Structure 1
Amino acid sequence: MPTDKTTSTTGKSPDVSQILRVADPATAGHYDELRQAGGLRPQWARFFEQSGLARPGEFDRRADDIAAQVRENGITYNIYAETGGHARPWPLDLLPFIIEEDDWARIAAGVAERAALLEQIMGDIYGEQTLLKEGFLPPALVQGHPGYLRPLIGAKPPGGTHLHIAAFDLARDEQGEWWVVSQRTQAPSGLGYLLENRLIVSQLFPTAFRDLNVQRIASAYRHLLDRLKEDAPNPDPDEPTRIVLLTPGPYNETYFEHVYLAHYLGIPLVEGSDLSVREDRLFLNTMYGLEPVHAVLRRLDDDFCDPLELRSGSSLGVPGLVQAMRAGNVLVANALGSSFLESTAIHGFLPGIARRLTGKELSLPSLPSWWCGERAALEAVLPDLGKQVIKATYPGSAERPSFEPVIGAGLSEEQRAHWRGRIASDPDAYTLQTFLPLSQSPTWDRKGRIVPRGTMVRVFAISTGKGEWEVLPGGLTRIAAAGQNSVSMQRGGSSLDTWVRTQGPVDTFSMLPGRIRPEDIGRGRRLVSSRSAENLFWMGRYSERAENGMRLARTAIQAMTSPETPPPSALASLHRLCLTSGLVPYGTPSPGEARDIFLRSLLASLTDANAAMSVRFCLTSLVRTADHVRDRLSSEHWRLVLQTRDGFVPRPTRRKGMPLFTPAEALVSLDRLGMELAGLTGAQTDRMVRDDGWRMLTIGRQIERLSFFSSALEAVFGSDSQPSDEALDFLLTLFDSTITYRAYHQRRLQVPPLIDLVVLDPNNPRSIYRVLKVIHRQVEKLPDSAAGASADLLAGVPPYEPTPSLSSLCSRDLLGGWSNLLELTGNCASAARMLSDEIGLRYLSHTQGGESAYLS
């Protein structure tokens, strides 16, 4: 990535007048983060002096660098409202958001104070309930909130801390004063995205970053991990404390962040199906059995965490988790039951609670908020609706559907009257909050202008124990879409890196591990969860299946479009294999009977996402399985996976009833897909550590290869006593062995040398017996289980040595058939099915009746 050491071609920095000429002032009534009377604010003048942004063209080039780095790092954000299932690139703007040291000191002190107060409220509400009894919180607001979890009343979390992380959304008013707009306590998002923002933007402007003395943020993450380890209940001091990050899975809007945080913190990323509760203790389902889990850093909302006691329809949580928490056997951070604190209505009661519990006023104020469930508040503010923002008190439900905040100033008088009626009919469900014109930060619009956009900063407080809090010196700054005053990433908003300046020394802590001594290095197994093992196994199978389907489809299309018609027996073999491989539906006539119908059916099925064996289905399934194990894949590997799916897209149909591909287009696309799959194979074989996860992927590939190659040999030799040259050539193509065969035997196509190469040759990675050898060796290295030794799985798999003689495989029976060869292919096909089933039963499920989510 280019840096500001080599930015402008002139080597000059812009003067203030240059920046002021291209920078629009903030909208009247909004605080201008860039300008002050007489010019730029000092921090921005200094930034531009060191940034190397001398010309508009340089702004564009740097913005392109950011976009390229976001793509390179695979940073994404899912938009729930969109269809199609593809995540968008994470929006990151060019210029940082800069906070001066004195501003930050007030923010940090106020945020730490508020985090401590929320922790006290949690302890009281699920304990003595003094605040309810004394009227500091209305019982209807707390106990009527779906986030108040009665199953956890009286439960005390290990270590005594309910909230290990608290996040606060802050904004400035017209005078530059900071206000708390909202707070997040369930599973605050942003800790991963702000890390990526920092990595990208700081590398883009390293000189400015150093010159402005921007505080580092890594130590806050280390302190979070240390606190989780300290509080986690681990009854065995000789056993390492195991912390996992619980994610809802790939369809969550911030899934990238979950993967990134797990990588950064060095902890396993798990889904609910990875965990089980036994005798009130939490376990990770692994290939080796159940392994204890002592702490869960969750990114799953409260009510989804336990379908047994909370939301019964949730498939994302862990049955029995609440009971394990009540028993004090697992730390869940944050503790369940805090979502009522996220209601805007709570803000109006915090000043009184602070005075009651601490004897002090809050130094960082909340925006004035009124819960309409209090009659006095309702009567005071409802007439003045034009100055308020209407918000839902509770999350959406069937009885009370959720709605987006409504800015009263943007309503007509008729609309305000309508809302007054709605609020009066169910006042508990509504909260009014004073409208705040957001401060506006400089952003680059790629049209030659620096334009102001509404700004909100999410700041994170991390518990360090004994009531103390550390505020991460930075935050996730979000900016509104052009012309908007509300910040929403799902409605065209973007993000900024947040630079907090300091006059003191910069924290140089790194999350890189300390010095590791030779005696500390072991060769223990890296735990592989059952879900990860299953997804890696099927990732291998779908990778191989897609490649086999690509070769078969390309071979069939070339045969159908060749000016020389292959013999009927060769076409019959192709037809049979296309049927068994799912490339054409059963009932499709053979090409010998109706070539055009067969070809149209084949072309149409290539991109049929609903056909369970189509090339498109395999590629989509490949992405799905890989998405579930992204924490185990390099960014390059993940991009290759996406490229295989996204690149195999035909042009729109020209008219109804026409196949999506023409034959020529299909061949071009299949050739390109072949190259991409070759790259993916390289990533899987040469870029992954040979642990049990990789072993499952490899076994999956080899099982699929054995099954397909056995079917290919059976399709040719099972229907033709004397295969034609064309049929033998088809086989060599499907085995990807044409070049090797010609190197040995030129173009003399004969059965014995072909059988030797594709069945017996130990040096051909695509021969049947080489595949059997790989399967045997990798299965033998799998861990033993309670069901028996891993070698027992091979009972039904033909041995890879000694190999049968070539003469026996080439011998013919009395009817002229290839009975010995076909017996071998039949045994191999059966072994592939049996081994897949046995691996699933032994390693991929730890509950009775478990079924694979994938198609065999």
Structure 2
Amino acid sequence: MPPGVNSPFPDSMPQLLFQTDPARDASSLALHAALPVRAGHYDELRLPAGTTGTAALRPAWARFFELLDPKGLREMNRNAEAVSRQIQENGITYNIYADADGPTRPWSLDLLPFIIDQDDWRLIERGLMQRASLLNQIMADIYGPQTLLAQGLLPPALVQGHPGYLRPLRGYTPPGGVYLHIVAFDLARNSDGNWRVVSQRTQAPSGLGYLLENRITISSMFPEAFKQLRVQRLATSYRRLIDMLHQLSPASADGAPPRIALLTPGPYNETYFEQSYLARYLGLTLVEGSDLLVRDDQLFLKTLHGLERVHALLRRLDDDFCDPLELRSDSALGIPGLLQAMRAGNVLVANALGTGPLESPALHGFLPAISKRLTGTPLLLPSLHSWWCGEAAACEQALPMLDRAVIKSTYPGSRQRKGFESQIGAGADEKQLRALRARIEQSPDAHTVQAYLPLSHAPTWHKSRIVPRAAMVRLFALADGQGGWHVLPGGLTRIANRQQRIVSMQRGGSSMDTWVTTDGPVDPFSMQPASMRPEDIAQVRRPVSSRAAENLFWMGRYTERIENDARLANATLGWLNGDLNPEPLSGALARLCMRSGLMPAEPPRSIRVFEHTLVAELASRDPQRGFGRNLSSLTHAAGQIRDRLSPEHWQLIVSAGDRYHRLIAGDRCDTAAALEDADQDAPPRTTADVQRGLRRLNRQILSITGAQTDHMTRDDGWRLLTIGRHTERLATMAGMLATLFEDNAILRDGGFNLLLQLFDSSITYRAYYQGRHEVPALLNLLALDANNPRSPACSLKMLRNTLPRLPGNSADLPGLLPEPDLGLTLSRLCQRDEHGRYAQVLALASRLEDAASVLSDEISRRYFSHSADVDQSLAAT
């Protein structure tokens, strides 16, 4: 993107606002505290100095600060902290460069809004509507008659030679002739205050979710200013988007409303948060490519209830990943056969595939002539001056001006024609300019030169000061399905930080809420749905995709596994450092730790080696080892279904591992970033550090379990989460019984109390059998008592009650489990063989472990895959 040069500011900053003269009004205070904008850049905050040589705030900003008053200004730092806190609490993230191995990064949002007045907005609105219509006409032409190519208005190299031009769709006409349903335009002001279109996004434009979250957050900080400035609301635009998708979707055979899904690349994508947020807001099903399949040229969602027809996809996946059969064959994100379903007219894909050529910066140089040819009118909003170097005359004109330009890839994001990062010629030295010229001359068609634009500077809030930052605004044009367009009255403003010369969120920039003001009425529409009839309510059912079901099942298992492992690790460390001699039980504890993956599969040579090895494993931040693997697996499973989790639930899961390792580090790491950068080879922490972290983690896991138990809808997905948790508990408790009864370790000094501790049943046992250590009482409580939530009998009871409520033919699933009473009496369970071993306990433990394994495999086969579901009944299409 064209840069906004943002040179470091001098150390001599204005006085803090709350230290200025309290007699001044708020506008005067703000003006006094604002740093000046560099020469050559438009100032969004202040009017230029008049004949008196003094500057004043622009009218909208003057009114904004008047509505705050000096007291409100003094609260600005507190409001900025509240914004950051709200972002953290809501789990709003943007993953820079989609770093799959790094932590999710908080979204960056400035406290002050970016204000566009109604005079500017009228021009912008008309200009973007014109451009969106023009781009849709270009799409119809390049995939149809190609008259623009025949008449020389568009070079064939920018169409047929563009890697984003999809030949399999030549001749395809989408429903209603609408190729573009959402178009994002990046706009900026030049030094004279006029707007320029810098770029456009037509494949899968991002930002619609983030700007909503920005609006909710910032409007709540300044409610009076938001109201009095008459800021246009956004809900109507989103309602129009949904109405348009419904209108253009193919009809259902039974007349039911079409099912619309939002196609995401998955949780590793940098904008995954906004995709899940947008799906929730619009009432769409969030899906990945693996959730969908094509049969008989129709698109289906794999759900627990079978295959359900999908009529429309709002996609956030780039073109070449969408169909591995006809496009990128190595794509694991797409849907085989999607293009054929599109050509058959059985699914609407918004935006239509094949729009890549419209994103080329080279197109801007040809749009003025194309506009006159197709519409008979000039462009209302000019683009940056652009020269495609594939034309000899344009290249000859562009090369001498490299020191005043930005050099871009003609085919950005293409793997066939390797693109490159935009490079700023302005400010480059002679050696760098020579290298740029040589590169362009070697491959001229791959390069486009655009005029350098000194971006306007918007006011931002930074530690009691108003600091100017280079700004670029992303605005969205939405099709109405009938040839018309609507421009969403707001947008996503991005700002550069002090160190960057380019406005880019991927390079650490920030964002602002964008306020469009009006003197007219403000649209009061809300996305709250219209009144529903009782029969409509009875039919509402949220689908649970097979992928979501699988991740819910494993989220339940990992939550239970972490809780049990934390309890085992804490008990082991306590035992190794307690008053009693740990030697009699060290073998059993080592086997339990190895079985759980808390230690390498090798018996320790001594008690001290055992302790040091266990502490080192528990303190490791390696996501592929033991405890760390379970923590990362829980976060991964939850991330796959983030749209189903409350922000609080998600935040509990994300912070669990971070807080655990921070406590282990003795609070030496104050932030997740510092923790990430910490020395991976640092010496192991002390046993006390690890135990403190385990206790805190156990409390947090209990909170996560509570959120799963009490704050999730009791649908089929929740049932599978519950089944996963109790399947894991059944296997874990059986393994603990087997280990401690295997060589009668239960009878050794402390073994009795250790087993109670591992089953989290010490208090219950003391309440029942105070002062007695009897194996029959122990077995009755830990194995046979269905009222004890940690006993296998209780887990079996829960599973038997829940399994038949799964969809489909699930009545046979309880038959995979032992009998409700385990088929044993207490007296038989307590019998010992000729070697003095509790053989029936060991046999029972083995049966329970086998049953848990068989049940898990059968649920996976039956509900998590539809690759061989020839008998699967299809939902009404």
Percent identity between the aligned chains? 56
Q: Are 1:467 and 2:483 an aligned pair?
A: yes
Alignment of 1:396-415 (within 5 A): 396=413, 400-415=417-432
Q: Tell me the distance in 2 between the aligned counterparts of 1:199 and 1:13.
A: 31
Cα deviation for residue 87 of structure 1 reads: 1.7
Q: Is the 8 A contact 1:8 1:53 kept in 2?
A: no
Which amino acid in structure 1 is aligned with residue 591 of structure 2?
Answer: R
Aligned equivalent of 1:667: 691
Cα deviation for residue 386 of structure 1 reads: 1.5
Q: Tell me the distance in 2 between the aligned counterparts of 1:411 and 1:76.
A: 34
Cα deviation for residue 518 of structure 1 reads: 3.4
Q: 1:490 to 1:99 in 2, by over 3 A?
A: same
Cα deviation for residue 498 of structure 1 reads: 0.5
Alignment of 1:14-29 (within 5 A): 14-29=25-40
Q: Tell me the distance in 2 between the aligned counterparts of 1:603 and 1:557.
A: 8
Q: 1:790 to 1:52 in 2, by over 3 A?
A: farther
Alignment of 1:495-574 (within 5 A): 495-522=511-538, 525-566=541-582, 568=584, 570-574=585-589
Cα deviation for residue 754 of structure 1 reads: 1.1
Q: Tell me the distance in 1 between the aligned counterparts of 2:239 and 2:125.
A: 18
Q: 1:822 to 1:156 in 2, by over 3 A?
A: same
Aligned equivalent of 1:640: 652
SS in 1 for 2:494: strand
Greater length-normalized contact order (CA 8 Å, ≥ 6 residues apart) = 2
Q: Is the 8 A contact 2:365 2:388 kept in 1?
A: yes
Q: Are 1:436 and 2:453 an aligned pair?
A: yes
SS in 2 for 1:790: coil
Q: Tell me the distance in 2 between the aligned counterparts of 1:166 and 1:843.
A: 38
Q: Tell me the distance in 2 between the aligned counterparts of 1:172 and 1:316.
A: 38
Which amino acid in structure 1 is aligned with residue 303 of structure 2?
Answer: T
Q: Are 1:740 and 2:751 an aligned pair?
A: no
Alignment of 1:601-750 (within 5 A): 601-608=613-620, 614-649=626-661, 650-651=664-665, 660-720=684-744, 723-724=747-748, 726-750=750-774
Q: Are 1:822 and 2:834 an aligned pair?
A: no
Q: Tell me the distance in 2 between the aligned counterparts of 1:8 and 1:471.
A: 43
TM (normalized to structure 2)? 0.92
Cα deviation for residue 455 of structure 1 reads: 1.0
Alignment of 1:448-463 (within 5 A): 448-463=464-479
Q: Is the 8 A contact 1:764 1:770 kept in 2?
A: yes
Q: Is the 8 A contact 1:549 1:614 kept in 2?
A: no
Q: Tell me the distance in 2 between the aligned counterparts of 1:733 and 1:158.
A: 64
SS in 2 for 1:95: coil
Q: Tell me the distance in 2 between the aligned counterparts of 1:657 and 1:461.
A: 52
Q: 1:610 to 1:457 in 2, by over 3 A?
A: closer
Which amino acid in structure 1 is aligned with residue 571 of structure 2?
Answer: T
SS in 2 for 1:410: coil
Cα deviation for residue 289 of structure 1 reads: 1.5
Q: 1:629 to 1:437 in 2, by over 3 A?
A: same
Aligned equivalent of 2:503: 487
Post-superposition Cα deviations, 1:811-843, rounded to whole Å, max 9, x if no partner, equal: 223332212222221111100000000000000
SS in 2 for 1:846: coil
Which amino acid in structure 2 is aligned with residue 585 of structure 1?
Answer: P
Cα deviation for residue 847 of structure 1 reads: 1.1
Which amino acid in structure 2 is aligned with residue 573 of structure 1?
Answer: A
Aligned equivalent of 1:76: 93
SS in 2 for 1:565: coil
Q: 1:512 to 1:530 in 2, by over 3 A?
A: same
Q: Are 1:151 and 2:164 an aligned pair?
A: no
Aligned equivalent of 1:3: none
Q: Tell me the distance in 1 between the aligned counterparts of 2:420 and 2:347.
A: 36
SS in 2 for 1:537: helix
Q: 1:35 to 1:256 in 2, by over 3 A?
A: same
Alignment of 1:92-171 (within 5 A): 92-171=109-188
Q: Is the 8 A contact 1:573 1:727 kept in 2?
A: no
Q: Are 1:334 and 2:354 an aligned pair?
A: no
Post-superposition Cα deviations, 1:448-482, rounded to whole Å, max 9, x if no partner, equal: 32111111111100000221000000010111112
Segments of 4+ moved more than 6 angstroms: 7-13, 652-658
Q: Is the 8 A contact 1:274 1:285 kept in 2?
A: yes
Q: Are 1:42 and 2:59 an aligned pair?
A: yes
Q: Is the 8 A contact 2:186 2:473 kept in 1?
A: yes
Cα deviation for residue 801 of structure 1 reads: 3.9
Q: Tell me the distance in 1 between the aligned counterparts of 2:81 and 2:745.
A: 62
Which amino acid in structure 1 is aligned with residue 838 of structure 2?
Answer: W
Q: Tell me the distance in 2 between the aligned counterparts of 1:8 and 1:826.
A: 73
Q: 1:584 to 1:535 in 2, by over 3 A?
A: same
Q: 1:232 to 1:74 in 2, by over 3 A?
A: same
Q: In structure 1, which of residues 378, 381, 389 is the aligned counterpart of residue 395 of structure 2?
A: 378
Q: Tell me the distance in 2 between the aligned counterparts of 1:409 and 1:722.
A: 77
Aligned equivalent of 1:756: 780
Q: 1:669 to 1:344 in 2, by over 3 A?
A: same
Cα deviation for residue 396 of structure 1 reads: 4.6
Cα deviation for residue 795 of structure 1 reads: 2.3
Q: Are 1:585 and 2:628 an aligned pair?
A: no
Q: Is the 8 A contact 2:389 2:446 kept in 1?
A: yes
Q: Is the 8 A contact 1:600 1:659 kept in 2?
A: no
Alignment of 1:759-778 (within 5 A): 759-778=783-802
Q: Tell me the distance in 2 between the aligned counterparts of 1:485 and 1:430.
A: 20
Cα deviation for residue 743 of structure 1 reads: 1.4
Range with bigger deviation, 808-817 or 450-459: 808-817
Cα deviation for residue 604 of structure 1 reads: 2.0
Q: Is the 8 A contact 2:180 2:352 kept in 1?
A: yes
Q: 1:320 to 1:273 in 2, by over 3 A?
A: same
Q: Tell me the distance in 2 between the aligned counterparts of 1:648 and 1:808.
A: 43
Q: Tell me the distance in 2 between the aligned counterparts of 1:585 and 1:24.
A: 59
SS in 1 for 2:418: coil
SS in 1 for 2:592: helix
Range with bigger deviation, 479-488 or 67-76: 479-488
Q: Are 1:779 and 2:794 an aligned pair?
A: no
Q: 1:796 to 1:613 in 2, by over 3 A?
A: farther
Q: Is the 8 A contact 1:721 1:817 kept in 2?
A: no
Superposition RMSD on alpha carbons, in Å? Answer: 2.3
Q: Are 1:178 and 2:195 an aligned pair?
A: yes
